[in-house]
Amino acid sequence: MAAKTPAIPVLVSLLVLALIEVSQAGGISVYWGQNGFETTLNKTCETGLYKYVNIAFLNKFGSGRIPELNLAGHCNPKNGGCKVVSIAIRNCQKQGIKVMLSIGGGLGQYSLASKADAKKVADYLYNNFLGGTSPSRPLGNAVLDGIDFNIELGSTKYWDDLARYLAAYTKPGRKVYLSAAPQCPFPDRYLGAALNTGLFDYVWVQFYNNAACQYAPGNTRNLLNSWYRWTTSIKAGKIFLGLPATKAAASTGTGYIPPWELKSKILPLIKKSPKYGGVMLWNRYFDKIGGYSTVIKNSV
């Protein structure tokens, strides 16, 4: 009988290994704010499709610029018209959805001139969109969950400092979440240093508009190799597969993955990573007209 006892720890070890191989459950992140026909923020959250919503974009800030929010077609922040979005933000959060403010974007005027400028921008973001106070607050008094870095132009410097200053605002019971949307070529030109801080909770890598690291019909290798590099190279909470919700959603028209291919050939493999967080879609408008998230939700 005594000779059989070592089998118990062996069985436990095998069980642990099996559990590690079990696919990770994830959620869908989406960008909202760049098309007036994409439905309101409230209705976007009420679809039940999304776990994270990035309000896009604060696309003018830093280097002495007066910050500007651009919610194309939804409301005009210059006359206080976007303060009503507060009600929707709170409703989304009550449903367990994280709501982030996305800064940057493909069009805009933004950069950080120095470490001191990064601190100034962090203070502005905290007081106007997070847990601080300000008489302006473009989106009203609702407290957003965090800041999303969608940096695609301008200077490559000081984004790591901005991340550190924002993370320092975390308080007991009120965490400031950080997310980022780097391009898939590794490391990202603009966000490489920021991601190396290890402070980001969610990283939705844009696996599109870049032939070397995206899906192509009949070829999943480049994308999967890039996914592996991202998930094994950076310290981050969760990493997401960022995709265009339709072919037209990608500026180059490339990187779109038919949903049945995503579900059968890609998700089963990437979900084995302990870093897997889900799928990010650009954007709510294209997802609304194409129904991508509806098709993939139960597989994510």
Residues identified as active-site: 152
Contacts of 144 (CB under 8 A, 6+ apart): 55, 89, 99, 100, 101, 129, 130
- The span from the first CA to the last CA of the chain, in angstroms, equals 46
Identify each DSSP E strand in the chain by its residue range: 27-32, 52-61, 68-69, 98-105, 109-110, 146-151, 177-180, 202-206, 238-244, 276-282
Indicate the SS3 state at residue 195. helix
Asked if 154 and 164 touch (Cβ cutoff 8 Å), the reply is: no
Q: What angle do CA 114, 117, 118 make, to 5 degrees?
A: 90
* Closest by CA position to 42, among listed 292, 284, 295, 297: 284
Listed residue (205, 200, 208) closest to 245, CA to CA? 208
What CA–CA distance (Å, rounded) separates 102 from 79? 21
Which tokens in the block code for residue 220? 């999943």
What stretches of 17-81 adopt beta strand conformation (E)?
27-32, 52-61, 68-69
Decide if 169 contacts 194 (C-beta within 8 A): no
CA-to-CA distance for 52 and 50, rounded, in angstroms?
Answer: 6
Question: String of b and e for 219-230 (b: at least 16 CB within 10 Å)?
Answer: ebebbbebbeeb
Number of residues assigned to the chain: 300
